[in-house]
Chain A
Amino acid sequence: MTATVETVGLSKWFGQKVAVSEVSLSFYPGVTGLLGPNGAGKTTLIRLLTGLQRPSQGAVKILGVDPRQDHAVYKRVAMVPEDEAVYPRLTAREFVRLSADLARLPDRERQVAEAIAIVELTDDQDRTLQGYSKGMRQRAKVAAAIVGKPEVLVLDEPLNGTDPVQRAHLIELFRRLGDQGHTVIVSSHVLFEMERMAGRVIAMVDGRLAAEGTVATLRAAMTDKPRLVRVKADEPRKLASLLLAADGIDGVRLDGAVIEVSTSDPSRLAQALPVTAHDAGIRIREVRPADESLESVFRYLVGQ
């Protein structure tokens, strides 16, 4: 399959801060997810892919051309930006029509009406966007992007602010576009959303590529990650020494009154901890995962 979007050694820095570092990627028709915690560099990568920002180093090709050099390619490329911003005084129909006008689409009235219908805003299309909810604005932005049926559609956190029904509807729409042969690049920091819409996922952290593959591959990699659990108990020193001998525990560290337990098998820890504490007559006050954030998972993947 031919890549529709390609990056080679792509880097972007702002002064001393490196936002994207040495990213070489290829995107193909279908839905590809860009996954990563906030600040991972997803938005900067998307801006580089679409030509909104100029690479500090490396190159981008979208449908075979550099988008910053050949602007005609924007007839076949569209983007939904992360910013909530829309034109508050425009109606949804005017907003989508603006997009169609600037792209010089043929048969604009019909295409605009179709795009608005796809995101289910037909009944509200003549209301100004300032009166829209966040979810409705997101859908208006999606309509403005899909109005020309672009070959490459780049969406930066498009599900932000949408309710579960709208979310399911948009996910279905992105999947359908992917199935029809469009290249759909969607960013999100929510693995669950990604799992439902993207066949292929690219995980980023700290501006670097952390992992690439199917969601299943990514999940498998994540289950290998040792988990860190913080335990507060009445006699932390005694409990820490007892836990060292327990099954399924990789390491124990005492941090003041808090015990940090490292395990690669959380279920075994869940069994061993209460039994050990009960047998020793120690009361457990709190058990809390220390590093369950998506960011920590990504950091682990980068470290592998």
Chain B
Amino acid sequence: MIDLGLTRHIFRQLTGGKRIWGLSLLSAVAGLAAWIAGTGRRAVDAAENYHVIVATAAGATLSIAMLVMGAAALRDERDGGTLSYLYLKPIARWRFALSVWSASMLAAGLAAIIGWAVGWVAMGLTVGSWTLALPALSAYLAAAAGYTAIFVPVGYLFSRAVLVGLAYVFVWEAIITRLVSGLGATSMWRTALSIYADLTALPEDALETLGTVTPSVTVGVVKLVITVALGTAVLTWALKRRDAL
């Protein structure tokens, strides 16, 4: 399905510099906040606090981290003048698109796992539970997969991809999908959260973030698959129809 050489190359490019550490730190903000907020509190309060912070703060920080990672996958190649080394290869464009998304998802997933691990360690040390934070990993990984499916094509199509992505995160996801309840299902963070909420009992404050979206692993995963398929289709179209340079 994917071209391993291309996936490996893009993954190396995305994770080879300092960016991966910066984005891992950004992904760790929620875990660090939960650590600080939970220190000195009762275990049950610290645990509830962790779920609420992940449901709210991680949505903002993860989406930005995934935006930077996803948009960079092909934008860096395009802006850096190296895209022709990849484009002029005998790889079917749908395969090319899927390979780039896979690399981007893996790199974003790595940053997400590092970020999540901070919270996991925090809960282990403050609450004494090493299983409490495990369900949250699903939200981190689902966010990595879903957001990169959106932001990789954005990075290829728009020279100001980060601005376009920020508009998506802060205007579409944060405002429009909240104002229009029917659009809540299109929010990638809520999709990720719906998987998390189905795996563990989240406190009321955390569930508020979901809005009208029902907790469900199955529905969440199906939505992720559809998002990845749509993202791959858009990128395939762009690779075929738009100028590569």
Q: Does B91 have its Cβ within 8 Å of any Cβ on chain A?
A: yes
Min CB distance, B188 to chain A, in Å?
30
Known A-B contacts A52-B245, A102-B6; A85 and B88 likewise in contact (beta carbons under 8 Å): no
B91 contacts across to A, CB distance below 8 A? 71, 74, 102
- The reply to whether A52 and B13 contact each other, CB–CB distance below 8 Å, is no
**Interchain CB contact (< 8 A) of B244 among A53, A85, A86:** A53
Contacts A68-B240, A89-B16, A101-B5: A51 and B81 contacting too (C-beta < 8 A)? no
CA distance A52 to B84 in the complex (A): 7
The answer to whether residues A98 and B85 also contact, given A71-B92, A74-B90, A104-B90 and a CB cut-off of 8 A, is yes
B240 / chain A contacts, CB cutoff of 8 Å: 68
Q: Of all chain A residues, which has the CB nearest B8? A: A101
A103/B89 in contact, CB under 8 A: yes
- Assess whether A107 is interfacial by the CB under 8 Å rule: no
- Nearest chain B CB to A105 CB, angstrom units: 10
B40 contacts partner chain A, Cβ-Cβ < 8 Å: no
Q: Given the complex of chains A and B, what is the CA–CA distance between A79 and B81 in angstroms?
A: 13
Expressed in whole angstroms, the Cα–Cα distance for A9 and B5 within the complex equals: 37
Q: Contact between B81 and A81 (Cβ–Cβ < 8 Å)?
A: yes
Query: Which of A78, A98, A101 meets B88, CB within 8 Å?
Result: A78
Indicate if B3 sits at the interface (CB-CB under 8 A): yes
What size tier do the contact residues of chain B reach? 20 to 34
Taking a contact as CB atoms under 8 Å apart, the answer to whether A85 and B93 are in contact is no
Task: Verify if A75 is at the interface (C-beta below 8 Å from B).
Answer: yes
Q: Are B81 and A52 in contact (CB under 8 A)?
A: no
CA distance A78 to B90 in the complex (A): 11
Cα A61 to Cα B94 in complex, Å, equals: 22
Contacts of A81 in B (CB 8 A): 81, 84-85
CB distance from A218 to the nearest CB of B (A): 29
Residue in B3, B9, B85, B244 whose Cβ sees the most chain A Cβ within 10 Å = B85
Q: Is the CB of A75 within 8 A of B90?
A: yes
Q: CA of A75 to CA of B243 in the docked complex: distance in angstroms?
A: 20
Complex Cα gap A52–B5 (Å): 21
In the complex the two chains form, what is the Cα distance from A98 to B82 in whole Å? Answer: 12
Interface residues of A in 51-103 (CB under 8 A from B): 51-54, 68, 71-75, 77-79, 81, 83-87, 89, 98-99, 101-103
Produce 1/0 per residue, B74-97, CB < 8 A to A.
Answer: 000000111011111111110000
Within the complex, the shortest CB–CB distance from A68 to chain B, in Å, comes to: 7
Contact A54 to B243, CB < 8 A, known contacts A71-B90, A101-B5: yes
Of residues 6 to 29 in B, which have CB atoms within 8 Å of A's CB atoms? 6, 9, 13, 16-17
Taken residue by residue from 25 to 68, chain A's Cβ proximity to chain B (1 for < 8 Å, 0 otherwise) reads as: 00000000000000000000001001111100000000000001
In the assembled complex, B160 has its CB within 8 A of some CB on chain A: no
> Is A205 engaged at the interface, CB distance under 8 Å to the other chain?
no
Residue B42 CB within 8 A of the other chain: no
Expressed in whole angstroms, the Cα–Cα distance for A52 and B81 within the complex equals: 12
Alpha-carbon gap, A101 to B93, bound state (A): 17
Closest beta carbon of chain A to B17's beta carbon, Å: 8
CB-based nearest B residue for A84: B81
Q: Which residues of A contact B13 (CB under 8 A)?
A: 87
Within B187-245, the residues touching A (CB, 8 Å) are 240-245
A89 to B82, CA, bound (A): 13
Taken together as a complex, chains A and B put the C-alpha atoms of A72 and B244 apart, in Å, by 17
Min CB distance A104 to B, Å, is: 7
Tell me the complex Cα distance, A75–B92, Å.
12
Residues of chain B within 8 A (CB-CB) of A87 are: 13, 82
Residues on B with beta carbons closer than 8 Å to the beta carbon of A77: 88
Q: How far is the CB of B234 from chain A (nearest CB, A)?
A: 17
Q: Given A54-B242, A54-B243, A71-B93, A79–B88 Cβ distance below 8 Å?
A: yes
User: Separation in Å of the A46 CB from the closest CB of chain B?
Assistant: 10
Q: Does A144 contact B (CB under 8 A)?
A: yes
A188 CB to nearest chain B CB (Å):
19
Does B16 contact A53, Cβ atoms closer than 8 Å? no
Contact partner of B9 among A51, A54, A86, A98, CB < 8 A?
A: A98
B85 touches A144 (CB 8 A): yes
Q: Which residues of A contact B82 (CB under 8 A)?
A: 83, 85-87
Q: Known pairs A47-B245, A102-B9; list 5 more (Cβ under 8 Å).
A: A71-B89, A79-B84, A87-B13, A99-B89, A102-B86
9 A/B residue pairs, CB under 8 Å, sorted by A? A68-B240, A74-B88, A74-B89, A83-B82, A85-B82, A86-B82, A89-B16, A99-B89, A102-B91
Listed in ascending order, the chain A residues whose CB lies under 8 Å from chain B are 47, 50-54, 68, 71-75, 77-79, 81, 83-87, 89, 98-99, 101-104, 144
| B interface, CB within 8 angstroms of A | 3, 5-6, 9, 13, 16-17, 80-82, 84-93, 240-245
CB-based closest 5 A-B pairs? A83-B81, A85-B81, A101-B5, A102-B89, A75-B90
